[in-house]
Structure 1
Amino acid sequence: MADKSPNILQKLGQRIGNVFKTILSTIDGLIGSGFNNFLLKVIPKPLHFLIPFLKDDVGIKAPSISSFKGIGLPEQKEAKALIEQIAVEPRTASLWQVKPLYTKYRCIEGNPFRCEVPRETVEEDPNNRYCLKCQFPAILPPEAKLRGRDGIYQIENYIGCRGQGRIYEATNLNDGLSVVLKEYVIPDRDFSPDETKLCKDSFEQLAGISLADGRVQDFRLITPSEAIADPKEERCYVISDHPAADAPTLASYLAGYGAMNNWQVRQFLSQTLQTLESLHGQKYTLRSGIVQQGLPHGNLSFYSLLIKPNLQGFYIYLTDLALWEHRFNSPLAQPAIYSVNRDLEDLGYIAFYLFRGGIVDLDNRIYLDPNVEEHWIPSVQPALKTFILNLIGIGPIKYESAEIARRALLKLPVERAIDLPPLEDVEPEVKPKKKRRWLRTAIVAGLVLLLLLLLGWWLSNLLKPRPSLSNEALPCCIEQVSGIPAGKFTYTAEKNATWSYVLLQDNLIAKGTTLETELQKRQPKMQLSFQPVLSAVDGIKKVKDQETEFLVTSLIGDLGTDLVYKEFAYDGLAVFVAFSYADRAKSLPTALKGQITFAQLKQIFTGQILNWKQLGGPDLPIKLYIPTDEESVRIFEQRILKDREAIESFRQMIKQNVPTRSLLDDTTTEGITPLQTFDTFRQVIRDFEDRNIGSIAFGSISRVFGQCSVYPLALADGNGSPVAPLIKTNGEPVTPTTDLCNDKGSYNPDAIAFVTQHYPLSYQLAVVYPRDNRRDPVGERFAAILKTDEAQKLLQKTGLIPLQGKSK
């Protein structure tokens, strides 16, 4: 028994070793593989042999940037094959990102982001831009340079994939400081040229957020310091200078360490809920300038949660918000649902899988499900288990916010488990070399203390404040726009289209004035004469023939190389039906549940559906109206009708305007009637209340907004969720129960949905002008005027949506 008594020196040695292990884990987690390089620099060459001895002696195996390469699922190898064979529940698949993004590429690994061939392609020849096997865009080669607003970034090293992009170490050549660069790809097999452009535009405007009041608050949310859309390549990039931007993901942590215990899961939940509480509850300014009250993360997964060890355990950081991460989803993919409740549910699922360290049960060949009692580990604390079930939404209580959930978590009884065995149970090791081991431990202790002192000096230099690089800001006021040419100039836009309306309509800006008058009054130097044309094609021809200086339009497809354009605002088409207060219970908005799909609109406007009962609505014949401007009609054709046959049927119905017989019944109605939008409002409500006809029409949201005789329907493209053009000021959706007349001022166009193109009939307005230095820069300067904060406020008053969503 005496031989089994605890040894004081051994206990002390074990404690010291544990402390050293924690310290070095923290260092390695903080600065990644740079710690090894640091040791090589500060330790004299004759003592380099101590570096591996140091790590081996205290058993360091902390996650770091070096262990981040080639991230796979945090399962055993056999689990990867199993996941491909079993039906993984979609929610689980999204958390682990099991499904590959780009299936049109025949990648030998099934997922180009987790395949080594694109990397090997560049190693073989740095000039190779595409994978030699499947032609997917290859990785960026070392020393490649990217130009951004805040500097020129040089690629130093490829780290691996994370979520929907690839991670690199890079250097800002302006100040020599290291950053983390994430690369997104927009492969041409999945995105058309127009879709690529929309993707890049929305990415640059949304990739990054900051507190609206200007405060800098560190609540463990990593956001980009800069967003870059590559003008030549099918790629976009975000730059992050956050110290934790290269920390391991939760997926790679579990791959190296396995499942978490009760105390670790509780700490994970507490920290993540604290960050979500701030994210959901505070006002943020997006990169475009939009001010948003609270934001859902929308992309919580084992790859968007980063973990850094510290002396108390670890820190959890959130990154890769859906706001910019999901810009690169395939256009055919079903739009994801973003909400506070979805974030809480995802967090609950993640916590459940942390207890298991994976998503599949290898023995039973099934994926693990929190709804199944047998899938929970026996050691999970009952109160914590109930809390997680509540988060998921299958427990006795549903948490309405992260704040409520966190308060509930803090009230749970604390039962911290001790993972280290008690010292009394430690077998003393009686060996002749015991004294040597103690001596080695003492040497290690001295060496570590020396290294910590050197490390402190190094970090103090590394973390010095960076010089601020101010972004180029647009002038606030029209009078601050420089280089405005003097003289009289003409320009054009389509007759009866959006610009013609907002420019010339009285009383939009203020009583007795127009936008044209206000713009001319605020900059009298350049006198512009507006001369409308019948079509955008005619306007483009006039600009090229130098008959006019520029064109204002939304039809900005392939303009060729001799014309350029600058966007200045957003508008969109609204599809509307009568909104009758006399018989609201039987009205079309109620019957249609406030929404309609593109497929149904296509059938209606090509004469295949002539009565609302064919869509499950009331027995009302359908009458069709369209606006008289080419701009709206062409957008409707391009976005909804799409194919040549449908467009031809649509145009024939406009041209003939004769009765069309349904293939399904004997109901008949007239063809399609072109009508001025405001005349359409009156006609649609009369049709419903006086003639028992359910009319439907479309027009620009700048004219439809504020008209309470019609109801703009939410639109669903393909399998996507319906998106409404209007939203209440409190963030709730407008529904058929909303009093559009008496509640005016309590709802507005959903600016974020329009700016992000989430609303499927959103479009940009732009100034199109010649790329010719020999001509006066009238169009380019007019676009600069319209993008000032002063002009954006004027545009907002006309019903347009400013580039920033709302003017400041």
Structure 2
Amino acid sequence: MPTDPYARSYRCWQNAPLSCDRPLKTAQEVPNAKFCLECGFPATLPNQAEIRGSRDVYRILEFVRSQGMGRLYKGVQVSDGQPVVIKEYLLPSRYFNAEEAEQRKAKFTQIAGMSPVNDRSPDFRSILPWEAIADRQGDRCHLVTLGNIAAAPNLSQVLQQNGAMPPERVRDLLAQVLQTLQFLHAQKFRLPSGQVRGGMAHGNLSLESLIATENSYIYTCDLAAWERLFDPPPNTFPIPEPAQDLVALGHIAFYLGLGRAKEPTSERSPDLRNVQLWSKTDPALREFLYHLIGLETPFSSAEAARQALLQLPNPKTTTTTAPRTLEGKSFGRRRLLWLLGLPLLLFLGGLLWLVRSQFNREEEANFAEFQRLVPSFNDLNTIQAGKYPYTAERDSTWTTVVGKRPLSDRSLNDILTRPRMDIAASFIHTKPKSSGSPLKTVTEQNNQANFAITSLIDNLPPALNSEQIAYDGLLVFVPAYKAQNLPAALQGEISLDDLQKIFTGQVKNWQELNPNLPNLTIKPYRPLEPEALKLFAQIVLKDDPQLIAKFNQIKQRSTFQTLRAIDFAEEQGQQLEAGTISFGTLVQTWDQCKVYPLALVQGNAKPVQALLRETTDNKLVPITEDDNLCQEKKPFPNVEAYRQRTYPLGFPLAIVYPNDNSLLGFKSAPMFADLLKTRDGQFLLQQTGLVPLQPIPRDYQPSASLP
């Protein structure tokens, strides 16, 4: 399932339209553009755009980032040039009908336009609105705050850049935020209508809604009172309780001390009772967080929690003691229970071992293989300072991959350009100027590119070496329409022989392949991507010139256009694309739920599915035509099928470089390969849709040192 709330109805190439860079590029390249040219999501506001409010007119200076349910911009008040930060919220018509949009606009201007009853009361570092503006004619709302604080880095960015916080810094953060919550929970606020309401809970505390300034102050922003108004329907607008703020703050402190955040795509949370996770936290702070999170008697209020925090002993003078159990059982009672339960535990353990021994051996072998990799970029001693340009095929797997955002708001290209902050090594991805092979530039003396990344590595000349870094593949897909359920009719699979017949025009109707299939005209589409076309011709058409000539007569359109057409037709309640079949690279199609990727059959072998899903008992099994991919978590790659080459349309992705030690590529390519073959490197590649060289543990967390 996508984590972006708007991903379901927009064919965004990153599956995250709110944080995607394409709406921004559209605004920069097309004057007055209202919507992204690729997926139709509302474009960002252009620089110098003006927003008229009741207090002033505000001019946009620059886009800052996406955060929470909106986008942040720096701006100024036109009247006096004073700085402001503008947060833009969206009410796209694909999610909100006209009545719902108007209701939320009205509520937004009322709630977000509130102010403390006592104007002289301190704000205790809570970024409250200066003005709330609802666009009467459009689908946008804007929240204006004074100054530039709201555009400062949030704690999610700080955590990514700096890693774990020391316990004393966590204490200081807790003290500040508890003071802010004490203010919010007790302060009375006046709405623009004149109505006065009592204290309110923040309701949306997270790493993103806490802002860190240069002078080490922590500000809260993005209160649920207005942030939750823009959640796509259905939304019941539950009233948050102050106690929820304390629990949320406890989890934030835990993740800051741990040095990482919970994976947004995972529903699993770490076991906070596991004392090993608290090894870097001083015992007194650990006990305090137990109460704050609610593992032990919770605090009655933010004020009570803050007073308890201030009374904690100094961590430098606290004696480290063995952590006490949370259950409060005495040692004698625990020992008795163990003695009584030991025979039963041994029996159950033996039974479980018999059932899962084979599974565990495979898991352990995979884990051991992964553990042998160098952990992170900082652990490599092969990286040397220098600028190393490299290239890839146009519209290829790698050009798609480097634009994706595997962790947060930074693209993979940004991360890999300067992988080590302590070493001035820059790996610069350069786009080819023509459709010619980038491999030719690798051996040239002018060093336009030190090396290339490609999947077209068969029959390389002796002058070139290659080093494999991951796997990619072609997914063959059909629409997942319920009315004309082609995946079910095909039983979720198709043979390479049938693919050859379809994409050379030998069959025109699905019933020509099998009388039990629907009476539908086959609509095959060739993608535009040269890499995908070459590999399909090589594997499915066996490089037969006559078959390739017929294949070249099949209608062409990009994978993105095909996916969008299928999605749009379903939105309109039409079945125009019901007979469609196409193919595209794994990185473009693996997380698209409106199409079904067919398992492939080669000769007399069993069908092989490229994607797996996780069962309720934490096993990975191939997806089937009965799975609703839009209601499941994102699938996992079938790593073993790629490693063992049993998936017919799988292929390696490799770095290709000159076998000449006088050229820079001879030195720089292995350095780059070392980066990508660390644990963190393989994890990043898998997050973009590539298949890693070995299975990655599902609970793996990347290093806090990732740039």
Structure number with higher relative contact order (C-alpha < 8 Å, ≥ 6 residues apart)? 2
- Point out the structure with the larger helix share: 1
Q: Could you say which structure has the larger radius of gyration?
A: 1
Q: Give me the TM-score of the superposition, normalised by structure 1.
A: 0.38
